[in-house]
Every structure is written in C-alpha cells, then in structure tokens.
Structure 1
Amino acid sequence: MNRKEILKNVRNISESITKQLGFELVDLEYVKEFGSYFLRVYIDKLGGVTLDDCREVSELLGKKLDEEDLIKVAYYLEVSSPGLDRPLKTDNDLRRNLNKDIEIKLYKALNNKKMYEGMLSDFNEKEVIIIEDDDNQVKIPRDYISIIKLKIVF
C-alpha cells in the first residue's frame, strides 16, 4: 500500500473515532523524519483540546490501527491539537474562525497587495471575505490564496 492509500484509510478510521468521541479530525500527516516514521493526527473541538483528550484519541486510534495493520513499518503515533499558528485549510476551519482576526497571504497580488489582515467576515466556494481595520470589506478569490492563518496577538 502506498503512502496516499495509507493516509486515505487512516483518515477514514480517524474520522470515525474522532467523531464518535466528539472531536473533529483537522489534519493528518504521515512522514519520515530522521529515519523514523510518524503518523500525526490533529484534532479539535469547541473550547479546545486537553492532554486527556489527546490520550483518549491516541489509545482508541492506536488499537484500531494495530487491528487493521495498515502501516507495515514501525511508526510513532502522535495526537495533538493543531496549534494556533496552523493554516486554516478547510471550510470547517474557516467556519470555526468566523469573526476572528486572520492573515491571508496570496499567490498573486490583489489591488497591488499580497498580504491582507482583517476579521474573517464570511466565505464561500469562490472567495473569502474580510473586514480590514478601517472597516473596508475585501473579497479575496480563493484561487489567489496561498495560506490563511489566525492572527496571533500577544
């Protein structure tokens, strides 16, 4: 089984388990680093994720993955929250972060700018809409967008 097939099957299993436990599966990574394989599972829920939440998902997912025996090499299973600085990739990510401040980097300039900051006001399949600090509404085509992240303010 190739890497893509492994990820697809692991995603199906992970989505089932996380949903059953009341979490959202945010992302998966299956990577080789420094000679070791890592399966990283990122989960979230309203109000955030605790260490006990990660442990619970890890235990159930680990048992199920061992039963299914999809990954034929030794690997480390890591379950964690996605972190504050992670990219917002899916509609669920955007929905969860409506009315929050975000940063958007673009592949190509829009109105002579390749970086926008503002409050995430709305989105659809074609565009992301933000309100800048000066109350200016900007509609950014999704195919212009390189990355969207939460704006972290300390």
Structure 2
Amino acid sequence: MSNKLINKISELAESVLVTTDFFLVDVEIKGGDIPEIWVSVDGEDRDINMDECAEISNELSFLMDAYELFSGRYRMNVSSPGLDRPLVDRRQYPKNKGRKVKVKYKQDGKDLKVEGILQNVSEKGIVVEINEQTTVRLPFDDVVETKIIPSFK
C-alpha cells in the first residue's frame, strides 16, 4: 500500500489521540482481499487497555470512512505494540526502566549488541546495566533497535 495512505491514516490517528494520553507508534496496512489496518498505540506512563483500543478504533474508522480512504471493506486493529515489537519512539523507554532489554547499536561503524537492564533514560539516551559492575551508556542516535525481553516471574 502507498505511503500516502499510511500517512493519511497516521494523521487521522494522531487527531484522535490528541485528546488522550496515548501516542501513535506505527501504522501498517496488510494487503489481501480485505485490507487490514494495524495501528499501534502506546502511553508514556501506562499501557492501553482493550476498551480504550476499541474506542480509538471506532473513532478512527469513522474518520477513515468520512474521508473515503477505502472503497470497500477493511479490518481495523488498534492495539499496544506488544512485547515482541521493538521500541520505536523515545516516549516508550521511561515506562520500561527496570526491564531486561536487548539493544542493537552502532559504534565506530560497527554493529554491536548489548543485553541487560534498562537502568536509566534521558533526553539524550539510555543506560543499560550489564551486571553490577558494568553499565553501557548509549546515545539515542546510536541505537538501532531496542527490544524488551519478557520476564515471567
């Protein structure tokens, strides 16, 4: 699907989210006989629940229909990004402090990885604690991908 369509859906989603404490993470369109629109939404201080997802979905679908973005049927899916998805927005980091992460980053032209506890987050970057004696400071500009490693305690 075209970037123009994704950009329009993103714009409409942002207009729905402006009155909430959530932000848009991503919009994907998966093709097929009936297109599927996947909208990922997150909050800085808390996760989004199913009722909130349904409300955002209804409002966004209403706007998409009003703008006639699709000539036929489509499926709308609004959800949190989920643990298996990388953190793509800096606003996702603070609420994940204390969790185990795997970070891919670039340093001096090399691709590197580090795994540890997300210890701190600032405007400039993150601090990952590898063990009690070792921490790594990574500027956001060097971070390629950060994934949460689920812990089932």
Short-chain TM bin:
0.7 to 0.9
Identity of aligned residues (%): 25
Shift of 1:148: 0.5
Matches within 5 A, 1:68-147: 68-72=67-71, 74-106=73-105, 108-110=110-112, 114-125=113-124, 127-142=125-140, 144-147=142-145
CA distance in 1, matches of 2:22, 2:147: 21
3-state DSSP of counterpart to 1:132:
strand
Shift of 1:36: 3.6
Q: Deviations over 1:24-69 (max 9, x none)?
A: 222211122x544211111223332222111111111100110011
Q: Deviations over 1:98-149 (max 9, x none)?
A: 3433211346345xxx332222413445x53212222412123545544211
The worse-fitting range, judged by mean Cα deviation, of 129-138 and 63-72 is 129-138
Q: Which amino acid aligns with 1:97?
A: N
Equivalent residue for 1:27?
26
Count, aligned residues:
148
3-state DSSP of counterpart to 2:116:
strand
Shift of 1:17: 0.3
Q: Which amino acid aligns with 1:128?
A: I
- RMSD over aligned CA atoms reads 2.4
Unaligned 5+ runs, structure 1: none
Q: Which amino acid aligns with 1:86?
A: R
Equivalent residue for 1:37?
35
CA distance in 2, matches of 1:120, 1:75: 42
Q: TM-score, normalised by structure 2?
A: 0.80
Q: TM-score, normalised by structure 1?
A: 0.79
3-state DSSP of counterpart to 1:26:
strand
CA contact (8 A) 1:101 1:120 kept: no
Equivalent residue for 2:59?
60
Runs of at least 4 residues off by over 6 Å: none
